Amino acid sequence: MHRVNLQGIDIKISRLSFGTGSLHHILTSQRRQRLLAAALYHGFSHFDTSPYYGFGMAEEELGKFMRSHRNSVTTTTKVGLYPPRDLRPTSVCIWTTKLLGKIMPTLSRPTVDWSIAAAARSLDCSLRRLGSDHVDLLLLHEPVSGAVESEVFLDWLTRERAKGKIRGWGLAGHAACMDNWLSVNHLLGMVLQVRDSLDRKEADTVKIYGRNLQFTYGYLSSAQRFSGELNATKILEKALRRNAHGSIIVSTRKLARLKELATVVQE
C-alpha cells in the first residue's frame, strides 16, 4: 500500500489507517489478533487507538500484536477521553457496562479530563498496554477549546517529545471544534484527525485555513447512515480523491471487507 508523509511532520503513514474503535466487538483475542495481522498483511501500516476504545482493550490487543511487528507499524493514541470508571478491559466488563449504559447513559459515557496530570498518567498507561517506549502520535481526543489550557498542553507535549515518548501530537474530532486553534495556526494542531463525509464535507473547515487533510474518518459510516446503502469501494475511492495527501482511517471486523478496502488503494 502506498505511504505518504503527513504535512508538517516527518512520519510516513499508509494511505489507509486501521481504526481499533470496534475491536472489542470481536469476542476472542485470537480473532482480534488475526484481524490485526490481516490489516498489516494488506498494507495497513498505521493503527489508530485510544484508551477509551474498549476501555483499554484496543490498546492491549494492539500491544500484543506489536510485540512482533513494532518496527513495521506506526501508532496513534489519545488523551482527554477515558473509560467511565476503572474496569478490567474484558469482554464481560465492556458489554455489561455498555448494556447498562443504554438504561443509564452516564455509566458508559467517557470520563473527560483535560488536566496535564490525567494526560501524563494516561500516556504512561497507554505505553504499558502497547508494550512500547513511545507512540508515534498523541492526539487530544475531541477537545473543547475552552476546556484545554493550550499553552500548558503544548509545553507538556514538547517535553514528552524531548523524552522520546511521542514523535508528534495534534487534535482529533470534529473540525468545527478546532476552529479556534486553526484560526491562529496554533502549534497544538500539528496533526489533525477530523471526521468527514462526502455529502457534508465537514473537513472543509481544515482546508479553509490552507491545511491539507491529514487523517480523516467517517466516510463509510456516514454514507450508510444517510442513504442506507453502502458500496464501500466506491465511497472509499471518492474519499481517497478528497483526501489526496493524507490517510483515511477505516474500521471493520470482517477479514473479507478488510481485503476489499485495501484493494482500492492498491489498484
Question: In angstroms, rounded to a whole number, what is the distance separating the alpha carbons of residues 61 and 57?
Answer: 6
**Quick one: cell of 6?**
503527513
| Residue 6 pLDDT | 87
Give dist(CA 267, CA 262) in Å, integer.
9
What are the grid coordinates assigned to 36, written together?
Answer: 490485526
Written in H, E and C, the secondary structure of the chain is CCEEECCCCCCEEECEEEECCCHHHCCCHHHHHHHHHHHHHCCCCEEECCCCHHHHHHHHHHHHHHCCCHHHCEEEEEECEECCCCCCCCHHHHHHHHHHHHHCHHHCCCEECCCHHHHHHHHHHHHHHHCCCCEEEEEEECCCCCCCCHHHHHHHHHHHHHCCCEEEEEEEECHHHHHHHHHCCCHHHCEEEEECCCCCCCCHHHHHCCCCCCEEECHHHHHHHHHCCCCHHHHHHHHHHHCCCCEEEECCCCHHHHHHHHHHHHC
In order of 66, 73, 225, the CA distances from 70 in angstroms are 5, 6, 36
- Least confident piece of the model among 2-11, 100-109, 124-133: 100-109
Predicted pLDDT of residue 151? 97
pLDDT, residue 95, reads 52
- Tell me the average pLDDT of the chain: 90
- The per-residue pLDDT for range 213-248, each reduced to its tens digit, is 999 999 998 877 665 556 889 999 999 999 999 999
How high is the pLDDT of residue 253? 93
Residue that is written with C-alpha cell 488503494 in the block = 265
Q: What is the pLDDT of residue 45?
A: 97
Count the neighbouring beta carbons within 10 Å of the beta carbon of residue 111.
13
Q: Looking at the predicted structure, is the pLDDT value of residue 152 above 80?
A: yes
Type of residue at 19 = G
pLDDT of 103 = 67
Grid coordinates in use for 157? 507535549
pLDDT-based confidence at 212, cuts 50/70/90?
very high
Pick from 187, 136, 197, 180: nearest CA to 11: 136
Distance in angstroms between the alpha carbons of the first and the last residue of the chain: 9
> pLDDT tens digits for 65-110?
999 998 999 999 999 999 886 555 555 555 555 555 556 565 568 8
Q: CATH code for 3-266? A: 3.20.20.100
**136 closest CA partner among 2, 5, 267, 1:** 5
Distance, in Å, from the CA atom of 118 to the CA atom of 108, rounded to the nearest integer, reads 19
Domain residue extents for the chain: 3-266
Statement: residue 267 has pLDDT above 70: no
Note the pLDDT of residue 223.
76
Task: Please state the rounded mean pLDDT for residues 54-73.
Answer: 94
